[in-house]
Amino acid sequence: MSRTVFLNHKTCSEEITMGDALGLIETKGLVACIAAADAMCKSANVELIGYENIGSGLVTVMVKGDVGAVKASVDSGLESAQHIGEVVTSLVIARPHNDINKIVIKHKA
């Protein structure tokens, strides 16, 4: 069963607003995902949206912020996760369509 966990949901607005970019890193295993999330948050001014257990050991972490910060954070997260485990894929979407919010907040905890 897929489950999305939103971190710091009392202060974090999961919704992606106009001008925000969305950054995602998918790893095999939670430990590599946590390492990626830690590096992403430390390396740039991004907001951690949360993570989703996809199944079969795959975990995706999501951040938002301005495009430059999200690109820098994803690069840093990739490097960190690759030292710990296996990275499956990553993606930065600059100014995602508003309908993407339906996916991002679909499983709100």
Whose CA is closest to 19, among 95, 71, 99, 70?
A: 95
What domain range includes position 44? 3-8+19-97
Is 14 part of any domain? no
pLDDT tens digits along 37-68: 999 999 999 999 999 999 999 999 999 999 99
| DSSP three-state, residue 106 | coil
Give the model's confidence band at 75: pLDDT under 50 very low, under 70 low, under 90 confident, else very high. very high
Is 104 part of any domain? no
DSSP, residue by residue, 9-61: TTT---SPPTT-EEEEEEEESHHHHHHHHHHHHHHSS-EEEEEEEEETTEEEE
Work out whether the CA dihedral 9, 1, 62, 57 comes out positive or negative: positive
For position 66, which CATH number holds?
3.30.70.1710
Write down the pLDDT at residue 102: 77
Residue 109 DSSP label: -
